[in-house]
Chain A
Amino acid sequence: MKSMLRTLCFIVLLPALMPAVAGDMPLPGDSVYQLDARLSDQEGRALEWRTLRGRPAIVSMFYGNCHLACPMIVASGKALQNRLEPRERDAVDFAMISIDPARDTPAALRDIARMHRLDTTHWRLLRPDDADVRTLAATLGIRYRAQPDGTFNHTSVLVLLDRDGRILARGDVTGLQPDPGFVAAVQDYLTGTSASAPNPISRPKESP
């Protein structure tokens, strides 16, 4: 009787326990998408951090006004993308998150995308709300410190997330080429999952 009641309770309560993402399994406890954060992309479109869920992603944090490590982060991400087989390449998105939302406006991010000739069907340059920079960095294990001259010291790293936002691998960025161990981790993961990957970054329809 007791267990039947419990089952009944469970069935009744189940919909209430489901996350907002309709039709999805509950988010794993260690998913970075547990964090509520609002961002906008290089086109100025607002998006919730958790809507990145659903596709594997390689993420990092950077800032536009950076002349050494940050271009290297983007370059090594691109180099990594080029090492992937077409099918793998299609199965993973890149998200570069600014630690300097005051200066990295959508226009500035668009310039960076253009400068690096980024394929924006797979790359997003994201500007978080001011209040969310620190928690996003904490979530991704990225440390940064603002310098008096307006630059930042920060961890230069590429982070591989599975489609549910669990951190699978990290690769230190120390040059234009990605860390070989990290490339192997990305390839291993994508080989196992690319067959069933949903569509790349979905584009909202242009309003007429």
Chain B
Amino acid sequence: MLAVPIIATALLATTPPAVHPEFVAIPAGEIRSTVRYEGDDGKRRVAAYAMSPRAVTVREFEAFVRAAPQWKRDRVPSLFADSGYLSGWRGAGDSGVVHDDAPVTHVSWFAADAYCRSIGARLPDWIEWEYVAAADATHRDARSDTRWRARTFDDGTPRAMDAGAGAVANWYGVSGLHGVAWEWVGDYATLLADADKRGSDDGDRLQFCGATGLSFANRDDYAILKRVALLSAMEPRSTLGNLGFRCARSSP
């Protein structure tokens, strides 16, 4: 009977502490976003910032909930996370996951936001994410490569191009953007797609200050289309088994 807690303690003691990766400096630049608003040309200026080279891992998130127990599965207010939050973990503060370096999933936007704040960072904005995710290993903007683009169709699945262990970092030195898990972005709620009533003609335009719908410039930009469709359907308390996050920092 006593053996169980002793083993658990021993495991805890040997679990190496979470080491946060050095963020990668992302130079300022311009991108023509696939996401268009009000018929604009999609041209966006991205200021220099820093981004985590990989998604937040199970181990890192475990350390976070131990330090901030209000984010444990059995403590988190239902306002901030649905019932799927950290489901699959062995205990409220213990993932029980062998492969601790896997990206953490089953996390809500609120939890992702709180995690990034806890390390003095923030979630990246959509445009920052899209900007860096446009790169392959050798091109800063690989989106005109139709073969590369077709491979992004598997994003968010085990077949995703960055899902394998041998996946290489992209031009910026960032990995896993087209991986097995999707990623939250800080301003995901601005991706007001068809789930909103804005497209209808019955006066709902007035629900927003003069807003009209979001559209896509390139119908074959699968990675972006799927991502926007997914994120725009999420509530900030929603969790999914293939939705994780990474953090970013504004440049001083």
Contacts and interface: CB of A to CB of B under 8 A. Distances in A.
Interface of A: 27, 29-32, 34-35, 66, 68-70, 72, 131, 134-135, 137-139, 141, 143-145, 151-157, 172-175
The residue among B79, B113, B192 with the most chain A CB atoms within 10 A of its own CB is B79
The residue among B78, B192, B196, B208 with the most chain A CB atoms within 10 A of its own CB is B208
A136 to B, nearest CB: 11
19 contacts: A32-B79, A34-B79, A35-B79, A68-B206, A68-B209, A68-B210, A69-B206, A72-B206, A134-B113, A134-B186, A134-B187, A135-B113, A151-B210, A152-B209, A156-B207, A172-B204, A173-B207, A174-B203, A175-B206
Contacts of B78: 29-30
A59 to B, nearest CB: 14
The interface residues of chain A, by DSSP majority, are classed as: mixed
B61 interface: no
Contacts of B236: 138-139
Interface string B215-252: 00000000000000000000110000000000000000
Interface in B71-102: 77-80
Contacts, number: 77
A155 B206 CA distance: 9
A137 B209 contact: no
Given A134-B189, A153-B210, A172-B204, 15 more contacts: A29-B77, A29-B79, A69-B208, A138-B109, A139-B236, A143-B189, A143-B192, A151-B210, A155-B207, A156-B207, A156-B208, A156-B209, A172-B207, A174-B207, A175-B206
